[in-house]
Chain A
Amino acid sequence: MPIIVNLDVMMAKRKMRSKDLAVKIGVTEANLSILKTGKAKAVRFSTLEALCEALDCQPGDLLEYQE
């Protein structure tokens, strides 16, 4: 899929662990892992909003389009 999820990059920048982020945005660690590894088929706006709030970033920082 040409959409790349840069969640791990943002997490590293904010020095946040998966466990803490999962608790903060209200998803399981397993689901967060699916999102990080790019296996997810879709992201809910509510999840994206929670991620942006927790990581203090924009959706564009998390998602990237590559040809």
Chain B
Amino acid sequence: MRRFGGSPARTISRAVTFLVLLLVTVVMLYPFWFMASSAFRSLQQYTLGLPGLSLASWRLLLQLLPIGQQVLNSSIVTFGSILLILILSAMGGYAFSKLSYRGSQLIFLAILASMMIPVQSMIIPEYTNLSYVGLINQYIGAILVYTALYTPFATFLMTMYFRGIPNDLIEAAVVDGLGYLRIFFRVMLPMAIPALATIVVLEFIQIWDDFLVGLLFLQGPDVRTITVGLATLNAARVLNVPVMMAGSLVSAIPAIIVYLLFQRYLIAGLTMGMGK
């Protein structure tokens, strides 16, 4: 194709461009390579720069952190929140796009505006309120906080998506005698699967990776998430780099897998947030 045609100047410029992009790739990938390669070396191999691979750091990591429990805690909180977010945003999006009532647009705007609230600005009363009702160190407490934080964007996505479904379709279903509840389950939800999938992928990464909410609302060692557990390793000044990198790898791998499989949904989510 064009790569082989064109003037020599053009070919050189393309080659330079390619090299620049390759250099950027090294800068972007180096931290991952460092993490993965250090994790499989013993402390001695790492500090003295000796060659060879070892699982010693993994054994130490398993002694220091209840990895299985923490991954389970992260999963419970992440999937619990995603489920609630899907339910609330699908219902809300359906109503805001197809079942408008007096004041519904104002409520929709308020929910959009809530996306501009920085977490830190509401987190102090949130913490004292939840501790007042005894929801600290309970999965459901963290799940509720995540749901409150991420449902507004999901509702925005669902509303935009449902707006693209013609009103005639709803009218026809009503004429056919379907109630609004049945229309939701039989007509709207099946059509919304791409939008729902986008929300699942987006929120999985956001919640799995989160630190602050876990730090405050799930403090007990038995309910701690993997991200918070990893940070305690750092705070405990465990000066063992391979162990810390092994822990980082455990925490990062689920998100990396989701990223590699569903990258296009993430990009879709980003661009949907961009346009109107």
Question: Does chain A bind chain B?
Answer: no
